[in-house]
Structure 1
Amino acid sequence: MLASRRPTTSSTWQFVILIVVVMFTGLSQGLLLPLLTIFLERMGVPSDVNGLNATALYVGVFGMMFLVERILIKVGYKRMLLGGMIVVTVALGLFPLFPSIGVWFVLRIIVGMGDSALHYATQLWAVSVSPANRRGRNISLYGMAYGVGFSFGPLGINLLKISDAAPFIAIVCMFLVVIMIVWWKLPSQQADAVHGAERPEKRYRRSYQWAWFALLPPLLYGYMEASMNSNFPIYALRIGLEQHWISYLLPFFGIGGLILQLPLGMLSDRVNRKAVLISCGLLGGGGFFLIPLVGDNPWAILVLFMLVGGLVGSFFSLGLAYAADILPRAYLPSSNVIASIHFSIGSIVGPNLGGLGIEYVSIGSMFYLLGMWYILFSLLGFRFRGKIRETAS
């Protein structure tokens, strides 16, 4: 058979392919969010309805997380990854064909579900092929790949000069190429950590019991990312910054995360992952408190954004790596489900809580809240034992 003649792909190359997948996933999300906002603005849709339409993506991600573990058990890594990519590709291709806010709301939910499935499969697969002494580095590379893709995604807006459909056609073609690579090069294998009778009972409760501290960083990361993207433009305009500074400053928060993500991951491999998380939380939290103090000085904000973004931009990946250190292998799929649900909850709560604070407490309250959450997280870390299970890999 044709499949039997395919060359065996080493674990290193499997990881590289997974990195490519998540980079293109970030690229599609980084393009889709501003692109649809532009189209809806052209259609005369009110800004509040425009924002509500964007939350459909997180609704899809959140809802799918309750199904992904069972799907993975039935179909395995490769089929789940391919299924998620195909769903996203088809949905992206349908956007320019049905320019309707109602249809786009549904399509965004579908994209969120597909993204949720492929992220879950790639995260867990990346952890499973990474040796313990390089787990932090590899998961940091995973996070960097998504960040790079997300950052470069908006550049696809320039394709609108060709036609409104051009950005969608470009990203669909890219996904088709990656789908072929995954289908041809990645091996078909079951998620052995959760297959059949090996699935432990009370795995979600025990995951919380043993690794609750390691599962908090995805919640903080989702809260921070969504709050910064949604609330900082309001903050900047109210303190008197010119509009163009908003587009210049926000990327530097992500750039700081990209610069320090790999060094922090490698440091956590060599020293203590819990200590790295606590230190970054304390320093990053303090940095958030400093941002309102520099007022409307854009250069000071830029420097603080890079420093704070570098410190807390690795929280999601470091949390996953720390959970993988603590939990037995059979609990990793459940912990990834919890991490993704936490990220979704944080993404929904962050903008709303930050907006309420700006409106009814003070202009700088969004940063005070962020600083308080990260410092509180670090203080909780001193109470967490983090004993590694004997059966963990």
Structure 2
Amino acid sequence: MSVDSVQRATEKVARLCTQPRDLVTLWNEVTEVVGSVVPFFQTPCWYTVDPASLLMTSHFHVGLPEFSGEWLAAEYYEDDAQSVPDVIRSSTGISTLHEATDGDPSSSPRWRRNMSMGGDQELIARLRTRTGEVWGALGLYRDADKPMFTELEKSFIAAVAPSLADGARRALLFGQAAEPEYVDSPGLLVLNENWDIESATPGVAHWLAELPDGNWDRGELPSAVTTLAGRTLRSAEDRSRPGDVAVSRIRSRSGRWLVLHGACLTSTGQRRIAVIIEPAHPSRINPLLMSAYGLTEREKDVTRLVLQGASTTQISTDLVVSVHTVQQHLKSIFDKTGVRSRRDLVGRIFFNHYEPRFRDNEKRVLANKAVRGGPWTAD
């Protein structure tokens, strides 16, 4: 494939990822583009993860509506040359199973599972935004008689990964806005080119009332929304920057920070502007850890870093405490959560608080409902 063709595919992925749409539609559309550059066996496996914990919240694989419980346990408990969580936490964010096993994957339980499905090679890539938030991962496979993944192919995947991460995040926001799950779920507002309101999700009125100088009851939009809408249209007209999305951060009337995302919709032939409004820091893992296990603030910080793959030394540096203090915190965390190791801690939190979300999302995909992110918090 020519360099120009790869560049066009990269730009197409970026454009697709700017559109607010449901996650399954996004994965299906970008799969075709990815496959034009990186041929694969059957179909990719797409994952979303919670950026606060780096734990998986969903998977999508055409023909595999339910991820095997044995395979899921292997991702978090099995000692193997490669796993999705390990690649997500790695320094490179991309790995092939053949490289991870020095060209001999036959001793890998993961390889044997892949072979049972007809796949021989496996490439896993982390989907991380340019600002450092991880929102997903991608798994690609090839059968035994196909060439190895090339450096050009891996470079392409690395180049589109930030766009795919942004697209996953936007799709999860879109899903939460369309079917709010929390009091502070995002809101979605769709405007036409004259700034008239075409549609609004149930939660958007709450957020618009929080923004300065607007009056939702009279249909008057806050200046933050109209300004963002104008920037969104200008960004859409700039073909030299296909993946650009207008974003602004606004202090609300109550003092909390809100983030506004703008995207231009063109599916109907007429340009419309979608504006998603969300709280600046909607992470739910920290309060979950406090309520479920009674962790102190410092133990919560240590646990968060363990989930993200930090070593004892890295935790010590990040929290500006001694290695001995980190070890004492870890002992207390293990006692409170009933585990004996870091791996067990990650597994305990995943299977107690994220597998229910993972399984619920499988059902939501089959029912054509929006995929949701974050830990499971339903009663």
Do the two structures share a fold, i.e. TM-score over 0.5? no
- Tell me the TM-score normalised to structure 2 length: 0.29
Point out the structure with the larger helix share.
1
- Tell me the TM-score normalised to structure 1 length: 0.28
The answer to which structure, 1 or 2, has the higher relative contact order (CA under 8 A, 6+ apart) is: 1
